Amino acid sequence: MIAPDVILPNATLGILGGGQLGRMFVVAARTMGYHVTVLDPDPHSPAAQLANRHICADYADQSALDKLAATCAAITTEFENVPATALEYLAKFLPVKPSGAVVAIIQDRIREKNFLQSNGFKTARFALIENPQQVATAVQHTGLPALLKLSRFGYDGKGQKMVHTLREAQQAYHDFGAQPAVLEELVAIKMEISIIIVRSADGSMAAYPPSENVHRNGILDIGIVPARISSVLAEVATQVARSIADMLQYCGVMAVEFFLTQAGELLVNEIAPRPHNSGHYTLDACTTSQFEQQVRSLCGLPLGEVAVCQPSVMVNILGDLWHEKNMPDWTKVLRHPHVKLHLYGKQEARAGRKMGHYTCVGENMKDVLTLALKIQNELGKH
């Protein structure tokens, strides 16, 4: 049953951020009959290409925020580094999901780690560094080697550095501008997995099956769903993700990333307050995509079905595949009837930049993974 205060199609939804996650939100929202306004400072924003309206301005521009608030029924965000203060300002006028208060916790690794630790969630050992004098104490706590990560604005391997000695840790902290950072124990990892979970304002939740994530140079390379783990472990990870969402009083789509250690321990790595790269398979392998769920939770609609219809493997397409501005040969992807290609409309290809992805689906996971890797290998040949 639909509550009387839901936001129905023909209303205008606003989103802060115009990258590929925003683009896929726009597609889902417009397919469902909503109008979308994107606020993003990039005049070539991938999301703005498909939106009804683009407010090309900085996220802290109050006049732009006022325009957004005056014309939209509700607001969401596509990335965690949008200023939480902008979300809090917009919330004075209309529903904003997730809230600025929650985003403020998750966008800062120090606050995020403190939240996880204080609420009893298992993580790798870590130490907070807020001045140069704390580096040595942090190293003693975590041991070496370790990962030094900036507290703010780090993603896809950016803003982090592996350190093997105290001198390296001190130099890395200096190179990061002596900004607040977290030093994390380097754990022996068997596998990385993530749970995409969606929670409504009334507390109802739905969780997608775990994705098994393989990274290359700090960037997600492929995602395998369902993850090749036991049903017991999948249930444990799901319950941890649900507990995190409940404790945050979260509303929207959220990803919780985990390390599965060689010793069989499940550790929370990071939280993302938005749809997640590892959830892109939901566009092709599920009844309801993570982006439709973002629309549904924002508008107060019942959540959609999250079951995976078929095993899938999602492969990221990075700008490294472009040579002398020439696109890869997409026939290597499109000639396969069970493979779906998604390109993000970005004008400039750069090494490490996510330009798109493809998803292979099928009845047999072994065959699906073999095909996904075969295509990846072929795309890399010129």
Interatomic CA distance for residues 208 and 254, integer angstroms: 11
What is the per-residue pLDDT for 3? 63
Domain 189-379: give its CATH architecture. Answer: 2-Layer Sandwich (3.30)
Which tens digit of pLDDT belongs to each residue from 14-54?
999 999 999 999 999 999 999 999 999 999 999 999 999 99
Angle at 258 between CA 257 and CA 260, to 5 degrees: 155
Q: What would the two tokens of residue 229 be? A: 């783990």
Interatomic CA distance for residues 292 and 27, integer angstroms: 9
Task: Please give the model's pTM, rounded to 2 decimal places.
Answer: 0.95
Q: Dihedral angle at the C-alpha atoms of 15, 21, 26, 28, nearest 10 degrees?
A: -130
- 12-96 adopts what CATH topology? Rossmann fold (3.40.50)
Which tens digit of pLDDT belongs to each residue from 362-381?
999 999 999 999 999 999 86
What is the per-residue pLDDT for 101? 96
Angle at 23 between CA 359 and CA 374, to 5 degrees: 20
For CATH 3.30.470.20, the residue range(s) in the chain are 189-379
What is the per-residue pLDDT for 326? 86
Which tens digit of pLDDT belongs to each residue from 278-304?
999 999 999 999 999 999 999 999 999
Closest CA to 15 of 98, 109, 93: 98
Interatomic CA distance for residues 193 and 209, integer angstroms: 10
Interatomic CA distance for residues 105 and 65, integer angstroms: 22
What is the per-residue pLDDT for 323? 82
Interatomic CA distance for residues 136 and 205, integer angstroms: 43
Q: What would the two tokens of residue 26 be? A: 């726009």
**For residue 359, which phi and psi values (nearest 5 degrees)?**
-125, 130
125-185 is a CATH 3.30.1490.20 domain: yes
Q: Mean of the per-residue pLDDT values for the chain?
A: 95
| pLDDT over 70 (residue 4) | no
| pLDDT over 70 (residue 157) | no
Query: How are beta strands 12-16 and 35-39 bridged, if at all?
Result: parallel
Cβ contact 169:148 at 8 Å: yes
